[in-house]
């Protein structure tokens, strides 16, 4: 996440820069290493899921890494979400840890920072909102 903040530095005023420093100094208070890391898709939004002629779902355009399964689930909720049946089936196989809702935006901050750096100011408000949410 740090390189994304460095690339986006020109978007932030001094007050937001102070909040970013506070956020990064306390990152471990919000996110911890998972006890059992998962293989992550890394860019799991509804635009990267296709339905084949056989009716099966296919995941495309991965940015694979290992980490908390919550990171992929958070990404599915960022840009439009998936059908409720997806989340219900997921929770049956792997229930989310308590407090996931409190961590979701932190997981999505990286993706929003990346979009801010690639696509511009349209993503500044949601980035600043999340920074404020965690660094008050």
Active site amino acids: 43
69 touches 40 (CB < 8 A): yes
38 touches 68 (CB < 8 A): yes
Distance CA 95, CA 8 (A): 35
Angle between helices 100-119 and 124-135 (to 10 degrees): 140
Distance CA 103, CA 70 (A): 8
């Amino acid at each position: 996440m740090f390189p994304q903040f460095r690339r986006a530095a020109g978007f932030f005023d001094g007050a937001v820069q102070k909040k970013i420093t506070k956020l990064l100094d306390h990152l471990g208070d919000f996110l911890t290493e998972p006890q059992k890391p998962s293989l992550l898709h890394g860019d799991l939004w509804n635009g990267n899921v296709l339905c084949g002629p056989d009716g099966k779902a296919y995941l495309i355009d991965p940015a694979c890494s290992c980490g908390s399964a919550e990171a992929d689930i958070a990404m599915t909720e960022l840009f439009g979400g998936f059908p409720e049946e997806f989340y219900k089936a997921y929770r049956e196989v792997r229930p989310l840890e308590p407090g996931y809702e409190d961590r979701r935006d932190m997981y999505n901050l990286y993706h929003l920072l990346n979009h801010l750096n690639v696509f511009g100011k349209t993503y500044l408000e949601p980035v600043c909102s999340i920074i404020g949410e965690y660094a008050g």
